[in-house]
Amino acid sequence: MNNKRETIDGGLIEYNEAWKKQEALFNATIDRKMKDEPTNNSLIFCEHPHVYTLGKSGDEHNMLLNYIQLQAKDATFVKSNRGGDITYHGPGQVVGYPIFDLANFNLGLKQYIHKIEEAIINTLALYAIPTTRLEGATGVWLDVGLPTCRKICAIGVRSSRFVTMHGFALNVNTQLEYFSHINPCGFIDKGVTSMQKELGAEVDMEKLKATLRKSIEEQFAE
């Protein structure tokens, strides 16, 4: 088993281009696994230009803009093969795509998602932002159980033969007004927030990615 991880910083990249890069790593990992060859684990960090993505079980009615309105917002709309409903990606958001062979970590899919959530919760705690999980939903949340309940990180994954792709989107210095054009993750009664909004100051993206990478490494070293 190989529980080491390669981290790739993709910078600002179009969603579909990043998807192709993921698919290449994902398919290569599955091919190696089918041949009983050792598999690698990769973690891609990136940001995307303004884009709304809909998961394979999502409801298109949660997209509140038409094509002309999307163009006016300089945004695109993509139907994805990840789980979950609709979400927004854009500059100032750290998107993480772990292409992990879960057999390398003796994990099932639910355990894997729990560890990703835990890594993000632990990272945010270092910035004095208290977060937790919301029962019945994935992702990382603030003020669970209160009317001010709001999401700071969305999670949507795909897996085959216990190899993962897609991943998480952590709102750091995100332009939150873009979320007002969707029902985020299908919720109509929950808010969305960012680290910048919670802290009242812009966050250094490079330092945040280094902290998050370390937190993920700690979770998957156990």
Q: What is the CA radius of gyration of the chain?
A: 17
Q: What is the CATH number of the domain that holds 100?
A: 3.30.930.10
Residue span of the structural domain in which 41 resides: 6-221
Q: Does the global pTM surpass 0.85?
A: yes
Does residue 1 belong to any structural domain of this protein?
Answer: no
For residue 184, the model assigns a pLDDT of 66
Structural domains counted in the chain:
1
State pLDDT tens for residues 64-77.
888 899 899 999 99
Write down the catalytic residue from 46, 149, 153, 185.
185
Q: Is 46 a catalytic residue?
A: no
For the chain, percent of residues with pLDDT exceeding 70: 96
pLDDT at residue 2 tops 80: no
For residue 85, the model assigns a pLDDT of 84
